[in-house]
Amino acid sequence: MGSSAAWQLADEGLKVTLLEKQSNIYTSGSSLGEARIARSFGGKNDKWSYLHNRTVDLAKNLIAYLNTTEPDSHSMTDIYNTSPVTYIRNKSRLESVQNQISEQTDSVLIATNMEEGLELFDANLPDSVFLLREYKEFSGTINPSKIIQKMHLAIQHKGSTISYNTKVTKLVKDKSGFKIEMIDTYSNEKKIILTDKVIVAAGPYNGELLLNTVPYFDKLIDIKRVFVSFFRLKADTWNTLEDSIKEKLVDAYPCINSTSGTREGANFSMVESRDDTGNPLIKIGGHFQRSEIHELDSTWKQKLSEEEIEWSRKHILRYWKFIDLDIDNDDLKYESGYSCVYSLSKNEVPYITPAKFDGKMDPSLIVLGALSGVGAKGCLAYGELAANYIQDKKIAGELYQITKEALGYDRLVNDILALSETEETKSH
């Protein structure tokens, strides 16, 4: 998100310094990897659809700019893998989804019973489940690694600076502006930057970083560990599958699965990559498979438990049963797992907002955070919102305004008020 905001500002001719804690090759964090779900399905005035669709437009602008510096070297297919997006849900959600379909302009197919499932998707749907697929260019998956690389390249082409291996240790504000204290994680050299404007997009570190400036964010943003698992069919199994079954398996992803009817059972899965034979590496995780964090910096290296691995395996096989893929547990091999961190607001909607400082809006400090696992598909649009805020740009458009309001300053003020009332109640 910091890279996204920096690129939007650099693209408008501003001189930007992007402080990046890691090297130019990511090794940890939620931006690690090759695939996140990119999807557009939603009802009228749906902010998540807007964020995805706007990001696609901004990605086209990014690719066009890069091709002016390196002709024909960049493509949207470097960033996006277009494929059907499957939503398989408990019937309790059917009415609301049908209402969304009536307001939807993108192409979708839906099966609400076993007969429709067999006809449309060759799927063996139980009575409690319905299945919807979204078909749209650039819906499927987005590659965080690639889009970060391209944004960094573009930022540097525009003459702005990226300082890698730079850990910000303190941010303070006084009448003259902001003082940012930092340390080079390789050389341990300490530096200080003085600046008039700052966008803080430090993910789970936002609360800690803002303690000396606007400490209430540490109470408004919670952090939890989540995990993802990676599985692949054993080579012998994959090689013996008919081509039609291989195609069906790959087309079944990405998938958002809430068939269990509970938050804890909900999961997302996708094809992270494919080997030389086409055998997909399947990634699965759950937005609500959360655990406490004891030491943030070490979370990324925390290994998955056997229970977490088995939860992942069970939900992959359960989905395959629904779509009538006859593959046994023994055919599915666990490859690896990864721990990362969600930063969460109380209502699980992100913040992109000026801070409140000394009782009023401070447009010189923009906070971008609490992404709650929904950042990738709208990454460039989040950055655009932050960049517009810090430049005080007024943007028309109903959906832009709806999204800005949901994520922005008035919402922050209400959250601070609610926090104060809660703390006052506790003190009594």
User: Hey, what are 330's tokens?
Assistant: 């023994």
What pLDDT, on a 0 to 100 scale, did the predictor assign at position 420?
A: 85
Q: Are residues 242 and 309 in the same domain?
A: yes
pLDDT classification of 425: cutoffs 50, 70, 90: confident
What pLDDT, on a 0 to 100 scale, did the predictor assign at position 423?
A: 75
What is the mean predicted confidence (pLDDT) over 397-413? 96
pLDDT digits (tens, 9 = 90+) for 29-71: 878 899 999 999 998 999 999 999 999 999 999 999 999 999 9
Which DSSP helix (H) or strand (E) runs through 199? strand 198-200
Q: Are residues 214 and 236 in the same domain?
A: no
**Domain count of the fold of the chain:** 3
Q: Are residues 62 and 179 in the same domain?
A: yes
Q: Are residues 60 and 196 in the same domain?
A: yes
Residue 267 belongs to domain spanning: 222-344
User: Hey, what are 309's tokens?
Assistant: 């691995």
Q: Pick the last residue of a domain from 344, 379, 394.
A: 344
Q: Are residues 54 and 71 in the same domain?
A: yes
Q: Are residues 13 and 96 in the same domain?
A: no
Q: Are residues 64 and 185 in the same domain?
A: yes
pLDDT digits (tens, 9 = 90+) for 3-37: 999 999 999 999 999 999 999 988 888 788 999 99
Q: Pick the last residue of a domain from 138, 160, 177.
A: 138
Closest CA to 381 of 352, 360, 417: 352
β-bridge pairing 140-142 and 36-38: antiparallel
Q: Are residues 193 and 65 in the same domain?
A: yes
Q: Are residues 238 and 331 in the same domain?
A: yes
The count of other CB atoms within 10 Å of the CB of residue 156 is 14
Mean pLDDT of the chain, nearest integer: 95
Three-class DSSP category at 218: helix
Q: Are residues 158 and 177 in the same domain?
A: yes
* Greatest distance between any 2 Cα atoms in the chain: 70
Q: Are residues 382 and 263 in the same domain?
A: no
What is the mean predicted confidence (pLDDT) over 91-96? 94
